[in-house]
Amino acid sequence: MADPTPIEIEEENTCSYNKPDDPCAIILFGATGDLATRKILPSLYFLLCSDRMPSPSIIIGASRSELTDEEFRQRIKEVFLETETDMQCWDDFSSRLFYRKADPGDIGSFTNLAGFIKDRENEFGTGGNRLFHLSVPPAAYEDIAESLAHVGLAEESGNWSRLVVEKPFGYDLASSKKLSNALMQGFDEHQIYRIDHYLAKETVQNMLMFRFANAIFEPLWNRNYIESVHITAAESLGVEHRAGFYDHTGVLRDMFQNHMMQLLSIMAMEPPSIYEADRIRDEKTKVYRSLRPFPTDDLDHHLILGQYAAGMIEGESVPSYVKEPNVAPDSSTPTFAAMKVYIDNWRWQGVPFFITSGKRMSEKRTDIQVRFKEVPHSMFRNILGEHITANKLTLSIHPEEEVRLTFQAKSAGPGMCLRNVTMNFDYAEGGTFRLSAYEKVLLDVLMGDHTLFWRQDSVDLCWEFLTPVLMECDCPEGAERLHLYKAGTDGPKAVHRLHDNP
């Protein structure tokens, strides 16, 4: 294949960016945990340093531990120093950083927390706007949300109160609904921000622009021109230190119910009338509503599940999944899934979407390939034969951040030969300043922008869609469905079955 030809980028200054301007208090539950200290607090620190935090704003850490403000600041400072953070904004940051013990099992501690928040709000003039971030295990979401509601912190009257939760949103449809009911005891849907970090990836956001800000692709974006769509999130890492969570979760709940479904809907949705959170989320919901249910009597041709066996990754031997620390030796948890999905609507009728994700595969690669149909007739058949390779469009998220269009061209020289050539757009080229996924979502919550967050109706529809396959995996016979694949490969060989039977 020829080297990709860079395309010329014309800069246009059409970029709008707003800084959040509502003063607020950010209350971080699980403030001493890994997520808070390694991701959330560093992101808030970065936003402050780059003048993107509203003014005034304060941060109140909360967790079950008994700590003074000073002890909490010291802990965070140590993490920042360990990670070689530039400390030039530390004094400003730490002067806004506070701590209070809050234990959902002890409602008195929430009453105290509410009092503390109000005192600091009066002191700093943050006006009663509150962002509650739950950096805690999902099992604690319901209790914390209910306690917040109980002490009146969910209420909005001339101020806003926002609740941020991370996936997983439940374990199945029933538990997701139960969670949602608990959150909605005190918070309304417009107050809830369900994070999916895939949506905060710029290259994922770029897909919407690519599809709907260009006139030339959309006419081809349908069953008449597209043969199949392939959505892949392969990882070379194994379960790492997360077996306690992962062994009860598996790849379908960990990757498909959220990230993969988001990628699918962005690829398949209709253009909304305007770039506005609920218009976009409406269109995604319509895609989920149109998913063809899995044919449970022919699951083998629509779903392949796998689990990694021992193998080699980058020249190093790695153990099988069941030999990983804290994994049950007879675990039948899938670490790989490939599925063929159809969307029953006018645009996509008959076009298979192949969705694949797995751990311990040969490489870390996240991309979407759109394979177009072959030319209907080859006028070159007398010299080249009938077959001409079809066009392919790749939206690459990792490791490259690129859009690549592959097409056929004549090889240079006297002969009549074809070659594949690729036109390439490198996302980083021409870009300026970029935010990490957490910086971006926190900023959006501060601005009250729901575009990058899940809405409960979509969460429910995705659980509903996956329920039959989850039941298959969870039942005692689930292990029979599991294909072992060697770590460092492209997954189970059985994947070809998805293609055998269109």
Interaction site with ligand BG6 (CB under 6 A): 233, 235, 254, 366
Look at the block and give the residue holding tokens 């140590």.
78
Bridge partners for 453 per DSSP: 195
Bridge partners for 58 per DSSP: 25
User: Closer CB to ligand BG6, residue 121 or residue 235?
Assistant: 235
What does the alpha-carbon distance between residue 151 and residue 110 come to, in Å, rounded to a whole number?
Answer: 7
Counting Cα atoms < 13 Å in the Cβ hemisphere of 161 gives 18
Task: List the alpha helices (DSSP H) in 125-163.
Answer: 141-150
Contact 207, 171 (CB under 8 A): no
Task: List the alpha helices (DSSP H) in 269-415.
Answer: 277-289, 381-384
C-alpha dihedral, 316 to 321 to 324 to 330, nearest 10°:
-150
* Shortest distance in whole angstroms from residue 245 CB to ligand BG6: 8
* Shortest distance in whole angstroms from residue 339 CB to ligand BG6: 17
Burial letters 198-213, b for 16+ CB under 10 A, else e: bbbbbbbebbbebbbe
Task: List the alpha helices (DSSP H) in 239-341.
Answer: 243-246, 250-251, 261-268, 277-289
User: Closer CB to ligand BG6, residue 93 or residue 256?
Assistant: 256
User: Closer CB to ligand BG6, residue 203 or residue 285?
Assistant: 203
* Shortest distance in whole angstroms from residue 290 CB to ligand BG6: 25
User: Closer CB to ligand BG6, residue 171 or residue 221?
Assistant: 171
* Shortest distance in whole angstroms from residue 317 CB to ligand BG6: 21
User: Closer CB to ligand BG6, residue 254 or residue 401?
Assistant: 254
- What number of other Cβ atoms are within 10 A of residue 276's Cβ? 13
Beta strands in 49-147 (DSSP E): 57-63, 97-101, 130-134
Query: Which residue's beta carbon is nearest to the bound ligand BG6?
Result: 254
What does the alpha-carbon distance between residue 106 and residue 142 come to, in Å, rounded to a whole number?
Answer: 14
* Shortest distance in whole angstroms from residue 209 CB to ligand BG6: 20
* Shortest distance in whole angstroms from residue 73 CB to ligand BG6: 30
Query: Roughly how many angstroms between the first and final C-alpha of the chain, as a whole number?
Result: 29
Examine the residue annotation and report whether 302 is marked as an active-site residue of this protein: no
* Shortest distance in whole angstroms from residue 213 CB to ligand BG6: 25
User: Closer CB to ligand BG6, residue 235 or residue 247?
Assistant: 235
Counting Cα atoms < 13 Å in the Cβ hemisphere of 287 gives 22
User: Closer CB to ligand BG6, residue 265 or residue 406?
Assistant: 265
What does the alpha-carbon distance between residue 229 and residue 264 come to, in Å, rounded to a whole number?
Answer: 9
Task: List the alpha helices (DSSP H) in 240-359.
Answer: 243-246, 250-251, 261-268, 277-289
- Among the listed residues 150, 197, 241, 259, the single catalytic one is 259
Give the catalytic positions in this structure. Answer: 259
